[in-house]
Chains A and B, each alone.
Chain A
Amino acid sequence: MISRVADHCFWMGRYLERVESTSRVLRVTSSLVLDAILPPEQVWTSALAVSGEEESFVERNGVAAVGDGFRVTEFLTWDPAVRSSLARSVQAARENARSIREVVSLEAWEAINELHVWLHDGSGRTEWAVRPDAFYRQVRTWTQLILGAVEHTMLHDNAIDFIMLGVFLERVGQTARILDVHHHALMQLPADLVREETLWLSLLRACAGFEPFMKRKAGRVTPGEVATFLMLEPRFPRSLVFCLGEADQRLASIRSPGDEAFPPLRCQARLAALESFLASRRVPDEDLHALLTRVVDEIAAICSELHEELFQAPQRAWSPVRGEQLRAEA
């Protein structure tokens, strides 16, 4: 597979996951703010912090605007200058897909392109203004449709491995940030409020984990249980260990262990190390913030290794020794 194509696949996956995660967080936050015991500025600050846009929002709109749900959601949904805004992530996912149109299946491409057209021709904007909840739900449904089309209409070869690798690495980062930001905010509350279940349930909802959590934990909602679940539950598809395991499997299918012609990958070793490190933690005893920061930093490091080892431009990666081998074959 061509290195540049692998790169586009990976980023298409990452942006799609980012779109889904952003739409989920904004939908849940909009609902939470209606009856939360927290002041609105605190609820919206969390949403801004998850996307890493708190500072830029305050800089542009002033600190008072943080409590204004309309302005926060408009900023995180539509602003073309905001790097992680939903509209920009859709645009980026589509541009990556368009650069590899010959790789993405027609049905997956049509689904991506229809989402793009809907956001751009005004009909998405109208829906957002009138029924924001339905808008975010629609975006989420669309990304699920796209990934479903990817999974069920594309050849299961390296292209799909790179797309899903992007999805799972992005999801690790998203889950870690959502957990970190909310955990931090909630633990600042007075002791009687910390136990307030609705807050922890909304955190689970932002990660699509409400029902799975209830099934697993039989309704025992405590801060420690929620954090443990989102980090270590091996059967929950958005937990950190689950996503790391999936990413690891995708890498193994790209370079199977023992493949002599393909040198071992540093990113793969690093991913495996992170996985076993996490699996050995006992969450309630840890400094959660330090732990989650380490996860986010490691993911960034793994992504830059990936870039260097697999996506790099040709001339630099060209080795004369392997060239000799190729000449002999050809």
Chain B
Amino acid sequence: MLAEYHPLPGAFDELLGANERLRATVEAMLDGRSSEEFARTQALAEAALLNQGVTFSVYSDSRGVEKIFPVCLLPRIISAAEWSRLERGLQQRVLALEAFVEDVYADQRILEAGDIPRAVVLGSAQYLPALRGIRPPAGVRIHISGIDLIRDGAGVFRVLEDNLRTPSGVSYVLENRLLSKRLLARAFEAARVRPVNQYPARLAAALRSVSPVSPEETTLVVLTPGPYNSAYFEHSFLARQMGVELVEAADLFVDDDRLFVQTIRGPKRVHVVYRRTDDAFLDPEVFRPDSILGVRGLLRAWARGNVALANAPGNGVADDKGVYPFVPEMIRFYLGEEPLLEQVPTYQCARPEERAYVLEHLSELVVKVVDEAGGYGMLMGPTSTAEERAEFRRRILADPRRYVAQPRIELSTCPTWVSQGQCIAPRRVDFRPYVLNSAGGPWVLPGGLTRVALREGSYVVNSSQGGGSKDTWVLKGEG
């Protein structure tokens, strides 16, 4: 089926640009399969996801419609050597980000030193001054992070953005792996892939490690906004896999700065909350008073050290896209090291010269709002209309701090099953590895979520906008 495979000009193709072993793996997988056969296997995978209810909700009406996150069975493959470079770079990055959040909510040494402009940090909508001076249980704030990476035209991995609040998607990593093992068993076995199913146990251990009481006595819960949340499947999945209870805000209450869950036998103390509710909704006493997703007094209980919240409130200041350009500075400042991972060059519209450049080159750049996620609020310059550019020009001039711009990177491509054409064609991908941080230091899951832009020519990989996913095979060492 690969005879007709032609890479896109300008993009790094992960099959053709790969070493012998990777290419051999993909070829072995396709060996002897007709496209009809592959189509059948693909259909089986999609039916399995639908029957198992592995879905996300789309808010087209108030009830939400459930859809499956389309999956392409052809995996994305990362060699052992590539992985070990990435792993070190990710650990370094998370340690520096952790030190930065700690510092911002304490002495603000990095701002004193002038390495990052004060206005960029303190002007972030995600900076929560009310939290200054609070040190969370065990001192950990970024328990779970998802760092989005892309590969440029030369095949170099670059960090595109950090997700330090409630990164999602890890359930698809685990579900996609089950599909690979079930439907591509022989190729999977031959490739010698590192496992990912230890994630839930690692997550539970990391969360228990920051408990105010001993891990054995700890009651850990997952807090979800509820079944209509787009990531509800993942919330219930993680609770199930960790063997802990999934709670909604209405199940919880705070008394005497301690957190309790209401059970049929009365209140029971809770020590660690893996919360998947946004900061703004966590505690109506501190943030949005209209929130029904929050628990009154939760932040007081947290500030007193009686409950650990993962991730800690206030982390958004470090994954703000306006702060992103300064992460290399953080690595130098806190760790005294040179960054191991590349970033994407970024223009800050807050700076007059850079703003002028951005406004002149709107049709070449990708413009992003600093505090939006999910691919919303973006201008894709090269494919934009004149009206869209005029609109962004107005918005940038009205509130320059909220906008940054980056050159459009030619995302790397992977061989992907195209159901309309019943063939395999190159499609652009990105990559989100997951890092757990605990009292014992950061750990990187050997795998991650590869998202793929299924539409021909598209650069947008978000599930809400026509993206799909692939299993990511991190190979074991050669020996």
Contact = CB atoms under 8 A, between A and B. Distances in A.
Interface stretch (A2-10, A132-140, A217-225, A230-238): A2-10
A326 B262 contact: no
B267 A314 contact: yes
B240 A101 contact: yes
Contact of A3 (B213, B222, B264): B264
Contact of B239 (A95, A98, A102, A117): A102
B123 interface: no
Given A95-B227, A113-B51, A327 B264 contact: no
B245 A102 contact: yes
B460 to A, nearest CB: 28
A27 B339 CA distance: 70
A242 interface: no
Nearest to A265: B264
A313 B250 contact: yes
Contacts of A317: 262, 266
Contact of A158 (B227, B244, B264, B268): B264
A322 B232 CA distance: 33
Contacts of A323: 255-256, 267
Interface of B: 50-53, 213, 222, 226-227, 232-233, 236-237, 239-240, 244-248, 250-253, 255-256, 258, 260-269
Given A98-B236, A318-B255, 20 more contacts: A1-B265, A2-B251, A2-B264, A4-B250, A95-B227, A100-B246, A101-B236, A102-B236, A102-B240, A102-B246, A109-B53, A113-B53, A114-B51, A310-B264, A314-B267, A315-B253, A318-B253, A323-B255, A323-B267, A330-B269
A117 B50 contact: yes
Interface string A307-330: 000111111011100110011011
Contact of B227 (A98, A114, A312, A329): A98
Contacts of A99: 226-227
A314 B246 contact: no
B228 to A, nearest CB: 10
Nearest to B247: A2
15 contacts: A1-B263, A2-B264, A4-B247, A98-B232, A98-B236, A101-B246, A102-B236, A109-B53, A110-B51, A110-B53, A117-B50, A313-B250, A323-B267, A329-B269, A330-B269
A261 interface: yes
Task: Tell me the dominant secondary structure on chain B's binding face.
Answer: mixed
B294 to A, nearest CB: 13
Contact of B258 (A2, A4, A330): A330
B30 to A, nearest CB: 30
Contact of A326 (B53, B245, B269): B269
Interface in A265-317: 310-315, 317
Contacts of B251: 2-4, 314
Interface string A158-195: 10000000000000000000000000000000000000
Contacts of B262: 2-4, 312-314, 317-318
Contact of A327 (B50, B246, B258): B258
Contacts of B248: 4
A110 B47 CA distance: 12
Interface in A86-121: 95, 98-102, 106, 109-110, 113-114, 117
Interface in A1-47: 1-6
A100 B226 CA distance: 10
Contact of A98 (B53, B253, B260, B265): B53
Contacts of A5: 245
B253 A314 contact: yes
A95 B63 CA distance: 11
A1 B50 contact: no
Interface of A: 1-6, 95, 98-102, 106, 109-110, 113-114, 117, 158, 254, 261-262, 310-315, 317-319, 322-323, 326-327, 329-330
B376 to A, nearest CB: 26
A226 to B, nearest CB: 39
A317 B250 CA distance: 12
A49 to B, nearest CB: 31
Nearest to B262: A314
A326 B51 contact: no
Contacts of A330: 213, 258, 269
A314 B269 contact: no
Nearest to A99: B227
A125 B263 CA distance: 41
A254 B263 CA distance: 12
Nearest to A322: B266
Contacts of B233: 101
Counting chain B CB atoms within 10 Å of each CB, the highest count among A110, A113, A314 belongs to: A314
Contacts of B255: 318, 323
Nearest to B271: A330
A214 to B, nearest CB: 39
Counting chain B CB atoms within 10 Å of each CB, the highest count among A117, A313, A326, A330 belongs to: A330
Q: Which 5 pairs, one residue from A and one from B, show the smallest C-beta to C-beta distance?
A: A314-B262, A101-B236, A102-B239, A102-B240, A113-B53
A324 to B, nearest CB: 10
Nearest to B245: A2
Contacts of B240: 101-102
Nearest to B265: A262
